[in-house]
Amino acid sequence: MNWLVYPAALVLLLPMAGAFLLALIPSYRVGAWINMIAAGCTFLASLGLLTVRTAGSHGLLFVDDLNVAFVVITSLVGFTTAVFSKGYIGHQIETGHLQRPHLRFYHALFQILLGAMNLALLTSITGVMWAAIEIATLVTVLMVGVYRSHEALEAAWKYFILSSVGIALALFGTILVYMVAQPVLGEGLPAMTWEKLAAHAGSYDPMLSSVAFVFILLGYGTKAGLFPIHAWLPDAHAEGPTPVSAMLSGLLLNVAIYAILRFKMLFAGSLGIIAPGTMMVTLGLASVIFAGLMLYRRRDIKRFFAYSSIEHMGIIAFAFGIGGPLANFAGLLHMAMHSLTKSGLFFAVGHIIRVKGSQKFDAIGGLTSSHPMLGWTFVACVVAIAGLPPFGLFTSEFLVMTAAVNANPLLALGLAVGLLLSLGALFQCLHRVAFGAPRGELGRDEGTLLPVLVHLAIVLGFGIFIPGEIVSWFQHVARMLG
């Protein structure tokens, strides 16, 4: 048996085992500890994949540098979110915002979500990836509606309807890919296996391949929150529990981008096919500018940072759409840095909600005066997500801008406009939340800021110095992506 299958299988089996065990545990406190341990073990198992430098497959599993990067980030953020979730959800129970009967399966759903995302990343079968993303969608629908309020249920229903439309488009695109591969690879699994599909890239019917990629981009682009197929994202972030917001922005959006990239690799070099990169650049740039405009006049802090996620998914799609070694490297780095920064930012927002009792801008303010540690941590998070030095997003955005200038200066100008719009809105947010006279309640924050600080430390470290091994790894992935 290929040795690659052992850590890959553990990354899938540990969340499944954790979900089964947690479904039997009625105690929230016990379940929170088990959830943390299961997520931590999954992260440790994912580190076993870091030695992979060549593609390998075994049965339904496929491992290469591209999905290893996504799996490690997913497992790390899943673990830190589990740590944050323990205190946050416990506080929501104590304050009466959540009822214990509604949380019986919260941790089980958390593990199912983590396992489904890892399955989507590691499977060698296109159809299984689609099914895994559908499972992740259904699980997050239940988690978004866990408050059982009118607003939460409306957001969950909206998320379900729009995501179902997107996932249906992605399914149709996946079926079309099977249809274009069948004449070349034959019937059955070979026509749905990444390794086989990639080996014959360029041999597929260009017309049908073009139609297939359009459906795939629209379908999985809905899950990634790209404009104009983003409408579910702000409501889901605003009304769901903050740990779910962290998982959505930091992880699930990445999985959708990964799906798009896999199919882009199949069609990018084909003659006669509509250019996948051009479509990704268009949607990405539109998302950046749209989100930059929508950040203004937001009244809810979670909804505000939901639009920020749309902006950063746009930057990632823009970079991968340009393609080439520099842009792909920048896109991969930006994806990693955004996952860590945005999830850490939502952790900080969760602490703000705990001390202020509200997520409305009017009820929070003056944090650096009333809660200095939390306030300055939030400032650092906003500076990081704004792409300012010395944090890692500055490096990735600089590289994306450089690649855009090399490709087309007009594209770089459009990207610069979007980034400056977002920067202004983020400074406005800082002024309202962190500085000035304290507003709202002055509750105590008894939770730990450790997950936030860990994420900030990693992003700061990557902004100052990227280890040579990481650079070589990402460069190899960039060449894979074409």
Q: Residues 6 or more apart from 248 whose CB is under 8 A from it?
A: 140, 233, 236, 237, 240, 309
Query: Can you say how many angstroms the Cα of residue 76 is from the centroid of all Cα atoms in its chain?
Result: 12
How many Å apart are CA 136 and CA 110, to the nearest integer? 10
Q: How much is the pLDDT for 377?
A: 93
Structure confidence at residue 445 (pLDDT): 65
How far out from the chain centre does Cα 422 lie? 19
Contacts 24+ apart (CB under 8 A), 292-299: 292/417, 292/418, 292/419, 292/420, 292/421, 292/422, 292/425, 293/421, 295/421, 295/422, 295/425, 295/426, 295/429, 296/424, 296/425, 296/428, 298/361, 299/360, 299/361, 299/362
The one-letter amino acid code at 70 reads: F
Q: How far apart are CA 245 and CA 442, in angstroms?
A: 24
Q: Chunk the chain into consecutive blocks of 10 residues (it has 482) and report each block's average pLDDT, rounded to whole numbers.
A: 68 93 86 93 90 67 88 94 88 71 79 95 93 92 83 86 89 93 85 85 84 93 88 84 88 92 84 83 95 90 92 95 93 95 93 86 85 92 94 95 94 95 93 81 73 94 92 90 82
Tokens of 427: 């400074």
pTM of the model: 0.93
Cα separation, 346 vs 247, in Å, equals 9
Phi, psi of 63 (to 5 degrees): -130, 125
198/203 Cα distance (integer angstroms):
10
Q: Give residue 1's pLDDT.
A: 43
- Which structure tokens are listed for 278? 């051009």
CA atoms within 13 A on the CB side of 285: 19
Check: CB of residue 157 under 8 Å from CB of residue 88: no
What is the length of the chain? 482
Beta bridge partners, 61, equal: 58, 123
Report how far apart, in Å, the C-alpha atoms of 451 and of each of 83, 311, 412, 448 are: 7, 24, 35, 8
